[in-house]
Amino acid sequence: MIPAPKKPQKLPVVLSPEEVFQFLGCIGNTKHRAILTTCYAAGLRISEAVHLKPTDIDSQRMVIRVEQGKGQKDRYVMLSPKLLETLRHYWRAARPQGEWLFEGDVSGQPITRNAVELACRKARRLSRIRKPISPHSMRHAFSVHLLESGTDVRTIQLLLGHRSLATTARYLRIATSKVCSASSPLDLLPRPLPVEPAPAAPQHF
């Protein structure tokens, strides 16, 4: 028996709340901004967001029904008041006529993932954020920002629709509230280390 090589475990690069705000503000198209805002506000996969229907938005209970997400499972996620306002603004501007909340160029079909991904790349260039950004980055940011605000992992697992808690728990390795809860031993030294003057150079971080 030859053991299978281990797959490298890479952690996603996560945007800060300020970077999410900056990125979303660079999306000029109302529909594209509404979709990516939904991905961040509710932690949806892009495939789930583009297949939303108007009837999935329940403003009475303030929830969004995700129908047949990954693994053919239905679930409910929170409907943020700010997201509801964004979706209502989009609705008044676009007036979609078919069954889909976010209609595509083809009649009777939802917008494609490729169209949203292209809009995402354009907004990243305009925002001048160096980090890689894809529609799924909004879902990663949703998870980590909830963790950093004190939401428990089990609740986040239900919101994301993860089958395994271990899948959700990997975000614990990214959340600054967890990673930075202890002080570096460098900060415990009695006084700062001496620093030699260096020529001026552009800042990269």
* Active-site residue identified among 33, 45, 51, 140: 45
The pair of structure tokens assigned to 124 is: 């990243």
pLDDT tens-place string over residues 127-143: 999 999 999 999 999 99
Neighbouring-strand partners of residue 73? 69
Q: How confident is the model at residue 176 (pLDDT cuts 50, 70, 90)?
A: confident
pLDDT tens-place string over residues 177-186: 666 666 778 7
53 is catalytic: no
pLDDT tens-place string over residues 116-175: 999 999 999 999 999 999 999 999 999 999 989 888 888 989 999 988 887 777 887 778
Q: How confident is the model at residue 110 (pLDDT cuts 50, 70, 90)?
A: very high
pLDDT tens-place string over residues 27-73: 999 999 999 999 999 999 999 999 999 999 999 999 999 987 666 68
pLDDT of residue 203: 61
70 is catalytic: yes
Which amino acid is it at 104?
A: G
173 is catalytic: no
DSSP line for 16-55: -HHHHHHHHHT--SHHHHHHHHHHHHH---HHHHHT--GG
40 is catalytic: no
Topology of domain 17-138 in CATH is hpI Integrase; Chain A (1.10.443)
**CA-closest candidate to residue 96, choices 26, 30, 25:** 30
What are the domain boundaries of the chain? 17-138
